[in-house]
Structure 1
Amino acid sequence: MDLSRRHLIRAAGGGLVLTGASMVSGRVQAASIPEAPTVRDPATQAPLAPTTGPDYQPVVTLNGWTLPWRMNGDWKEFHLVAEPVVREIAPGMKAHLWGYNGQSPGPTIEAVEGDNVRIFVTNRLPETTAVHWHGQRLPNGMDGVGGLTQPHIPPGKTFVYEFRLRRSGTFMYHPHSDEMVQMAMGMMGLFIVHPRDPAFRRVDRDFAFLLNAFDIEAGSYVPKVNTMTEFNLWCWNSRAFPGIDPFVVGLGDKVRIRFGNLTMTNHPIHLHGYEFKVSGTDGGWVPEEAAWPEVSIDCAVGQMRSFDFVADEPGDWAIHCHKSHHTMNAMGHAVKTYVGVDKKEVAKSIQKLVPGYMPMGSTGMGEMGSMEMPLPDNTLPMMTGFAQFGPVEMGGMFSVVKVREGLAKDDYKDPGWFKHPAGSVAREWTGATPALVRPDRKADAGPPASTEFAAVDPRKRPSAHGGHEDH
């Protein structure tokens, strides 16, 4: 991506027109549209610092980037292109999605409270679309609901939206045209409006991402858009762990993490190692005196949340959705539970038919984190990712906040794994093992017997002679 100053030059012309979203037509008008940069690299891109207007701390979009703009008179102009994209969910798996400017989600739009923004939207999809500016105060005709507040944008056409940013905060954009399909295909993006006062609630590092989910069968590439609840890929910015980049933070930095939810369920986002203050919603800033402390904050569908904390504890701190199935990849909802089931004998029979078959699940699923089994093309293991002490046994909505001493202000490179001070890592106890005594057992009774599992048909009841009888 070229983020040179040619994207940010001042041009002449432009007047304040606050009418409905309208189509750009004619060669002269089309020639005045700003460039539409494209990014396909799935890595987190460097923040785009402002070169004109009020100062602000730019956001870092997790596994994403900020859309460049140009000044045209009093207007800050952006150009979004709705189009099919290929997105790497994590190394080893790609998805054929719809998005904006080469990616799903699309690029983050950043501006300042009071700015006049002009956003050109070009439709390169095979069907009509429209863009809703979720949470913004604006004229009704700019709200982006196809058929209600504007005509749908036909394929091959460009529409323009013009409005003044009336309040700062954390917002997003997404289609309101065939919404079920287009959002299920990955069409969404962040819209960050910074305060006019550069000192208002300022932080040292500001991160943002969107929660989204897909149902993509192993070996396929296109999401099943009719899925309502049984998704198998839980993502942050259309990435699943270990494909989600870390949050890189300097020791002592004041940090803000913003996120929005466009999945089909709520997500309690939990940060290890810190308590934080909930600082904002898509409805506005939480007054500082009213901000409340948490270690997890739930985010319902269609909501935005942000929280702040001071990074005064060095280390590699996990951050994740606390719904346990949302930190898994490519889950099979029909997989049976085999905990406690001895599969050794049946495995021998299966291995005669399927050489290399490995029975799993008798003692839990953790062994999957370290196994490297052959997988169908274009899918991910349920649990994957390695760190300095072995398999992390996670997937989906999981990442790491890496807090390090001595980072430069604009240094967001992955610093590697944390070097723990001597004696500060949990370790095996090699001293005398204390006796374990349960109230119903004597101290010298020895270890408990292995748990035995028996399948019971609920349609049968115990008989008088100890067996079961139908009922």
Structure 2
Amino acid sequence: MTISRRNFLGASGGMALISASAVSGRAQAAAIPEAATMKESVMQPPLVPTSGPDYQPVVTLNGWTLPWRMNGDWKEFHLVAEPVVREFSPGMVGHLWGYNGQSPGPTIEAVEGDKVRIFVTNKLPEHTTIHWHGQLLPCGMDGVGGLTQPHIRPGKTFVYEFQLQKSGTFMYHPHADEMVQMAMGMMGFFVVHPKDPAFRRVDRDFVFLMAAYDIDPGTYVPKVAEMTDFNMWTWNSRVFPGIDHIVAGKGEKVRIRFGNLTMTNHPIHMHGYDFKVSCTDGGWVPEAAAWPEVTIDCAVGQMRAFDFVADKPGDWAIHCHKSHHTMNAMGHDVRNFIGVDKKEFAKKVRKLVPDYMPMGTAGMADMGEMEMPLPDNTLPMMTGFAQFGAVEMGGMFSVVKVREGLASGDYKDPGWFKHPEGTVAFEWKGEPKKAERKPPAAFDKTKTAEFTVVKPGKKSPHGNH
């Protein structure tokens, strides 16, 4: 379901009303705005401002921006904390907790100086709160349950009111039973745009949050007490190949913002470019002090943003540089059989298990195209196909697609990059004639779906279980 601002602002006839006794806040906030919801897991178009200060809206990977209404000089939002079902990638879903139908919740966008009123309704089985990570606000609006406010009990609605004192990159998450609620996917992005529309403006602005889950094959609910051994490393609760591509036109200025709510740091690396680190959750890095990188580390609880000019067309990888964070459903007790000849052993095992396939003798790359049955509700450890074959990735991995002639506001997948002749690495077969040096043929798998999950007993073209 996609909700436009026009539909939202015109929906007063369907506005949900909750009794004033269930609301903590000012009397004029008794009429609660309708809570928009979203079930789709693909990137929604940016919510372009139609009134007030101008700004370049953000695009949330596999997500959306929360609509609002104006009530006097207050910009009003409504978040609903509730159980959700989130697709990690085609073939696997998780039973998580989130906001307004999704995990992460919708991105909140506003402008420096705005007065925001955020209604939070709790549909969880336990109490909750929301902390506005990085925002400067009154202590009683900071969202720490028991310390700065009463907990929001199930079925109740609270109101947060504060004026946005600075622009930048922020997030929201609970500060009540944090170990459970954040491990279940409760988080969201909060972007405050500069009051000056020209300040550090870009042509495209992308956001995502990093989270980690441990979901055993065949199960649906994360292990909330897990501390180190996660098997799903996600951007916006999605894993490759289910993470949206980052699409930009040649020559456009692009910003990528991300935050980390996992239990470890993530060195985010982008191929093909060096970029300038432009913003943290503490504020903007002065342009003269912005430093060049190709990899920027993001520690737990931090936000980072970097800018670059998309002047090099191609399909450029972007990913966490911890190799086990670009894997799905990875077991932690895998033995190392590299160099071990298991042919005779495999013959004996196949007498009992006809479908047995020995793995790891020559490394793990053969898993990318291996045909093996998969358990219910899980994903291959190494998966995804592009034009030249198996990508052998998972988890925190996507593609920055830069194209010439892309229209402003066009975020559709443009397909795989058409490499100019002579610019693709090729097999050496002796000194070739100049006319014979051609790029390799495209991989046929791109003519079919990138990812398929089969039930036990059937064959997957790239399974690993």
Q: TM-score, normalised by structure 1?
A: 0.88
Are 2:51 and 1:34 aligned?
no
1:365: how far off?
0.3
Partner of residue 132, structure 1: 131
- Residue identity matched to 1:202: R
Q: Cα deviation per residue 1:144-202 (whole Å; 9 max; x = unaligned)? A: 00000000000001000000000000000000000000000000000000000000000
1:30: how far off?
8.1
Alignment of 1:224-239 (within 5 A): 224-239=223-238
**CA distance in structure 2 between the partners assigned to 1:256 and 1:4 by the alignment:** 24
What RMSD, in angstroms, separates the aligned Cα atoms of the two structures?
A: 1.6
**CA distance in structure 1 between the partners assigned to 2:205 and 2:133 by the alignment:** 20
Partner of residue 405, structure 1: 404
**CA distance in structure 2 between the partners assigned to 1:204 and 1:432 by the alignment:** 45
Q: 1:36 to 1:104 in 2, by over 3 A?
A: same
**CA distance in structure 2 between the partners assigned to 1:382 and 1:260 by the alignment:** 24
**CA distance in structure 2 between the partners assigned to 1:376 and 1:299 by the alignment:** 33
Partner of residue 5, structure 1: 6
Q: Where in structure 1 are there 5+ consecutive unaligned residues?
A: 12-21, 434-471
CA contact (8 A) 1:232 1:331 kept: yes
Partner of residue 221, structure 1: 220
**CA distance in structure 1 between the partners assigned to 2:124 and 2:324 by the alignment:** 33
* Paired positions, count: 422
Partner of residue 251, structure 2: 252
Q: SS at 1:337's partner residue?
A: coil
1:353: how far off?
1.5
Partner of residue 119, structure 2: 120
Partner of residue 276, structure 2: 277
Are 2:107 and 1:108 aligned?
yes
Q: Cα deviation per residue 1:385-408 (whole Å; 9 max; x = unaligned)? A: 000000000000000000001111
What is the aligned-residue identity percentage?
79
Partner of residue 365, structure 2: 366
Q: 1:205 to 1:164 in 2, by over 3 A?
A: same
1:29: how far off?
7.3
Q: 1:202 to 1:25 in 2, by over 3 A?
A: closer
Q: 1:117 to 1:9 in 2, by over 3 A?
A: farther
Partner of residue 465, structure 1: none
CA contact (8 A) 1:80 1:101 kept: yes
CA contact (8 A) 2:23 2:30 kept: no
Q: SS at 1:353's partner residue?
A: coil
Are 2:390 and 1:391 aligned?
yes
- Residue identity matched to 1:7: F
Q: Cα deviation per residue 1:416-450 (whole Å; 9 max; x = unaligned)? A: 000000111000011069xxxxxxxxxxxxxxxxx
Q: After TM superposition, what 4+ stretches of structure 1 lie above 3 angstroms from structure 2?
A: 8-11, 28-31
Partner of residue 421, structure 2: 422
Are 2:324 and 1:325 aligned?
yes
Q: 1:281 to 1:29 in 2, by over 3 A?
A: same
Q: 1:225 to 1:31 in 2, by over 3 A?
A: same
1:355: how far off?
1.6
Alignment of 1:12-23 (within 5 A): none
1:2: how far off?
2.2
Q: TM-score, normalised by structure 2?
A: 0.89
Partner of residue 182, structure 1: 181
1:32: how far off?
1.2
Partner of residue 193, structure 1: 192
Q: Where in structure 2 are there 5+ consecutive unaligned residues?
A: 13-20, 433-465
Please say which structure displays the higher CA radius of gyration.
Answer: 1
- Residue identity matched to 1:162: E
Q: Cα deviation per residue 1:248-275 (whole Å; 9 max; x = unaligned)? A: 1000000000000000000000000000
Partner of residue 54, structure 1: 53
**CA distance in structure 1 between the partners assigned to 2:425 and 2:385 by the alignment:** 18
- Residue identity matched to 1:309: F
Partner of residue 346, structure 1: 345
Are 2:154 and 1:155 aligned?
yes
Partner of residue 289, structure 2: 290
**CA distance in structure 2 between the partners assigned to 1:49 and 1:411 by the alignment:** 13
Partner of residue 442, structure 2: none
Q: Cα deviation per residue 1:59-106 (whole Å; 9 max; x = unaligned)? A: 000110000000000000000000000000011100000000000000
1:140: how far off?
0.2
CA contact (8 A) 2:267 2:322 kept: yes
Partner of residue 210, structure 1: 209
CA contact (8 A) 1:189 1:210 kept: yes
**CA distance in structure 2 between the partners assigned to 1:219 and 1:307 by the alignment:** 38
**CA distance in structure 2 between the partners assigned to 1:394 and 1:10 by the alignment:** 43
